[in-house]
């Protein structure tokens, strides 16, 4: 018999037992649908994570202070006061691969307007912060160098802070109370959204000079210390040269000689993306593996029903062998029957999985991305499962003795 005849025979056998065949492929359908939907959720999480990191700016390099130590216990990165405003100015002047530099301080504070107040993050930064972070005012203006020179008590509110304190009222020109100091609102920042690090709209920006002298405290003995320095290279190709130049300049300024360790830490945006991608990849693999268990169960169901089918059709197998069917004909008859079952379940499962991923995106407002690779992988696995779990019953059928088979009831 040729392949087409075997497929027709397998389909006829499946259709003759619709209920049993439907229940058999149900495990494959659920497994394929689950794999596609969960992989779509994982892929969507990866894209959202990359998008959130991109909102931080373009090709940024983050420099943080080193870790202070209490006894033999490290207090964590950023706990020491090793970076200064002068370090940031030196990087901007000396390093040819650097476009812009933004030093900064930040910390939690209570912000009050009238009877409303909120606990938010106060960020003291320089005037070029919007250009480095691609984070611009929606209304009003960001503070400028003149405000920095005068230690002006002006602030720019994040969207979340503005809505909490003012509701629908225009906050521009109003004054808010921050740590017993009155600040004039000069801008409301555009919507940036929450990232894996924090809610970027739940912040208040003030001039770094103002924050240093009026908000966070300034001790002349320590110098004008800052918590972080954001560096924007001139281009993506300048990231690695910029890292090299920053490291050398800071080591020279901090008088660090080999084999002493750096008292600062550098992280590039690419490193953040690689870390996030590795986490989401593990997350996606975990989801896919969990869904793959149902595929395994579906394959066992196919093998079980095929063994039952062999038992029920023992006499049919004996008759076919008696009239000249070869060992391979019987073997492929049952293998193809199992593959047709898994193929049908795979097609239905793919459609159901795509529909489920769209439903999750619509109702749960999650980003889901169905990739061709996940569809092809799921479909290929369903076919392999049909063949793998169909071989044993098929071999059992092909090995039947024709005489014993004809004697079966």
Q: How is 91-106 classified by DSSP, letter by letter?
A: HHHH-TTEEEEEEEEE
Say whether pLDDT at 68 is over 50.
Answer: no
Residues in a beta bridge with 199: 194
Q: Which domain holds residue 178?
A: 81-262
User: Which CA distances in Å does 147 have to 77, 141, 143, 208, 211?
Assistant: 31, 12, 6, 10, 12
CA distance 401 to 409: 15
Pair 235, 343 in one domain? no
367-386 mean pLDDT: 84
Asked whether residue 284 is domain-assigned, the answer is: yes
Pair 182, 209 in one domain? yes
CA distance 199 to 57: 15
Pair 159, 33 in one domain? no
Give the pLDDT score at 57.
Answer: 57
Calculate the average pLDDT of the chain.
83
Residue 105's nearest CA partner among 85, 124, 122, 87 is: 124
Domain final position from 262, 292, 311: 262
CA distance 382 to 31: 9
CA distance 34 to 42: 12
Range of 45-54, 116-125, 252-261 with top mean pLDDT: 116-125
- Residue 224: band (very low, low, confident or very high) from pLDDT cuts 50, 70, 90: confident
Of the two residues 28 and 273, the one the predictor is more confident about is 28
Pair 242, 101 in one domain? yes
For the chain, the distance separating the N- and C-terminal CA atoms, rounded to the nearest angstrom, is: 26
Asked whether residue 267 is domain-assigned, the answer is: no
- Residue 80: band (very low, low, confident or very high) from pLDDT cuts 50, 70, 90: low
CA distance 258 to 15: 78
Asked whether residue 144 is domain-assigned, the answer is: yes
Sign of the Cα torsion 79, 83, 88, 93 reads negative
DSSP 8-state code for residue 266? E
Give the pLDDT score at 344.
Answer: 86
* Structural domain count, the chain: 2
Pair 355, 232 in one domain? no
DSSP E strands, 193-340: 203-207, 225-226, 228-233, 264-268
316-341 mean pLDDT: 76
Pair 228, 116 in one domain? yes
Element (H, E) at 217: none
Domain final position from 239, 262, 285: 262
Prior bond of 259 cis (ω within 30°): yes
The angle at the Cα of 199, spanning 144 to 84, to the nearest 5 degrees, equals 50
Asked whether residue 160 is domain-assigned, the answer is: yes
Q: CB atoms < 10 A from the CB of 46, how many?
A: 20
Give the pLDDT score at 76.
Answer: 45
Asked whether residue 58 is domain-assigned, the answer is: no
At residue 62, φ and ψ (nearest 5 deg) are -105, 125
Pair 100, 244 in one domain? yes
Asked whether residue 62 is domain-assigned, the answer is: no
Asked whether residue 74 is domain-assigned, the answer is: no
Q: Please, are residues 219 and 81 in contact by the beta-carbon 8 Å criterion? A: no
CA distance 348 to 51: 33
144 token code pair: 């400028």
3-state helix, strand, coil in the chain (%, to 5): 55, 20, 25
Pair 344, 322 in one domain? yes
Least confident piece of the model among 113-117, 232-236, 403-407: 403-407
Give the pLDDT score at 405.
Answer: 57
Domain final position from 229, 262, 295: 262
Pair 283, 363 in one domain? yes
CA distance 289 to 295: 10
Asked whether residue 153 is domain-assigned, the answer is: yes
Pair 165, 282 in one domain? no
Q: Please, are residues 123 and 106 in contact by the beta-carbon 8 Å criterion? A: yes
Sequence-distant (≥ 6) Cβ neighbours of residue 92 within 8 angstroms: 98, 100, 101
At residue 39, φ and ψ (nearest 5 deg) are -65, -35
Pair 237, 108 in one domain? yes
49 token code pair: 């994570």
Pair 130, 235 in one domain? yes
């Amino acid at each position: 018999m040729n392949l087409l005849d075997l497929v027709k025979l397998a389909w006829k056998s499946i259709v003759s037992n619709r209920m049993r065949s439907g229940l058999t492929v149900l495990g494959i359908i659920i497994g394929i649908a689950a794999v596609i939907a969960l992989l779509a959720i994982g892929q969507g999480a990866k894209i959202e994570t990359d998008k959130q990191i991109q909102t931080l700016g373009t090709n940024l390099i983050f420099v943080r202070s080193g870790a202070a130590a209490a006894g033999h216990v490290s207090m964590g990165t950023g706990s020491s006061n090793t970076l200064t405003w002068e370090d940031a100015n030196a990087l901007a002047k000396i390093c040819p691969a650097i476009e812009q530099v933004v030093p900064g301080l930040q910390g939690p504070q209570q912000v009050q307007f009238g009877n409303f107040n909120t606990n938010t993050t106060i960020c003291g930064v320089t005037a070029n912060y919007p250009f480095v972070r691609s984070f611009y005012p929606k209304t009003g203006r960001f503070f400028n160098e003149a405000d920095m020179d005068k230690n002006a008590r002006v602030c720019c509110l994040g969207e979340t802070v503005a809505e909490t304190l003012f509701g629908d009222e225009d906050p521009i020109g109003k004054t808010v109370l921050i740590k017993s100091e009155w600040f004039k609102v000069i801008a409301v920042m555009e919507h940036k959204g929450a990232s894996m690090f924090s809610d970027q709209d739940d912040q208040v920006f003030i001039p770094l000079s103002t924050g240093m002298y009026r908000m966070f405290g300034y001790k002349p003995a320590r110098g004008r210390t800052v918590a972080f320095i954001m560096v924007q290279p001139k281009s993506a190709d300048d990231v690695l040269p910029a890292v090299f130049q920053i490291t050398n300049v800071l080591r020279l300024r901090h008088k660090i000689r080999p084999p002493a360790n750096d008292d600062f830490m550098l992280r590039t945006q690419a490193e953040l993306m690689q870390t996030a991608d590795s986490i989401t990849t593990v997350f996606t693999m975990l989801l896919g593996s969990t869904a793959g268990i149902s595929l395994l169960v579906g394959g066992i169901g196919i093998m079980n029903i095929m063994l039952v089918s062999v038992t029920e059709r023992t006499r049919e197998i004996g008759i076919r062998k008696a009239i000249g069917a070869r060992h391979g004909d019987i073997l492929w008859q049952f293998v193809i029957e199992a593959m047709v079952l898994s193929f049908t379940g795979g097609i239905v499962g793919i459609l159901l999985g795509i529909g489920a991923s769209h439903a999750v995106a619509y109702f749960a407002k999650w980003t889901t991305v169905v990739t061709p690779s996940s569809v092809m992988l799921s479909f290929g696995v369903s076919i392999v499962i049909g063949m793998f779990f169909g071989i044993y019953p098929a071999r059992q059928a092909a090995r039947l003795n024709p005489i014993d088979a004809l004697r079966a009831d």
